[in-house]
C-alpha cells in the first residue's frame, strides 16, 4: 500500500522547488558598469594575476636560494671566484617577495576602489530616481490643491 504512494522524485534539494535562472549573464558585473570600468577591472585582474604568479615564482626561487645557502653552510664547497654569497641572494629574493606583496596589495586596493565607485554611482542613480518620484508626487499634490482652490473660487 505505501510502496505505490511514495514517489522517489517527490522531494527536491531545495525546499520550495523553485529554480531561478539569472537573466543577466554578463561577466564582470551588472548593467551599472560602464565599458571603460569593465575594461579597467579586467586589466586590474590581469595585473593582479601576473603579480601573484611572479610572487609565487619569487617564493620558489627564495626557497631554492635558502636550500642552497643551508647546503653551503652544512658542507661548504671550495670556490675560487664567488660573485655573490648565498646569504645576499636570499636577502634579495626576500626583498622581491616584499615588493610583490606591496604590488598585490596596491592592485587589490585599486580593484576595491573601482568596485566602490560603481556602488556609489548605483546608489546616486537610485537616489536621483527616488527624488524624481517624490518630486512628481509633490507636483501631483500641488495640482490637486490648485484644482480644489479653483473649485472654491
Q: How many alpha carbons fall within 13 Å on the CB side of residue 47? A: 17
pLDDT digits (tens, 9 = 90+) for 101-140: 898 899 999 999 998 988 898 899 899 999 999 998 888 8
Mean pLDDT calculated for residue range 72-81: 71
**What pLDDT, on the 0 to 100 scale, is given for residue 127?**
92
d(CA 139, CA 72): 85
Number of other CB atoms surrounding residue 62 within 10 Å: 19
Q: At what angle do helices 86-152 and 35-74 cross, to 10 degrees?
A: 160
Ordered by start, the domain boundaries in the chain are: 2-152
Q: pTM score, two decimals?
A: 0.45
Neighbours of 33 (CB within 10 A): 19
pLDDT tens digit sequence for 43-71: 998 988 888 888 888 888 888 888 887 77
Amino acid at each position: 500500500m505505501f510502496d505505490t504512494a511514495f514517489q522517489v522524485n517527490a522531494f527536491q534539494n531545495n525546499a520550495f522547488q523553485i529554480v531561478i535562472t539569472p537573466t543577466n549573464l554578463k561577466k564582470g558585473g551588472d548593467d551599472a558598469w560602464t565599458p571603460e570600468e569593465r575594461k579597467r577591472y579586467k586589466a586590474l585582474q590581469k595585473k593582479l594575476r601576473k603579480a601573484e604568479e611572479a610572487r609565487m615564482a619569487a617564493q620558489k626561487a627564495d626557497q631554492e636560494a635558502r636550500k642552497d645557502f643551508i647546503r653551503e653552510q652544512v658542507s661548504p664547497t671550495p670556490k675560487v671566484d664567488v660573485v655573490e654569497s648565498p646569504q645576499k641572494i636570499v636577502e634579495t629574493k626576500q626583498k622581491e617577495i616584499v615588493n610583490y606583496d606591496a604590488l598585490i596589495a596596491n592592485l587589490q586596493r585599486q580593484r576595491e576602489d573601482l568596485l566602490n565607485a560603481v556602488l556609489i554611482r548605483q546608489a546616486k542613480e537610485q537616489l536621483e530616481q527616488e527624488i524624481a518620484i517624490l518630486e512628481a508626487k509633490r507636483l501631483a499634490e500641488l495640482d490637486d490643491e490648485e484644482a480644489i482652490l479653483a473649485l472654491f473660487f
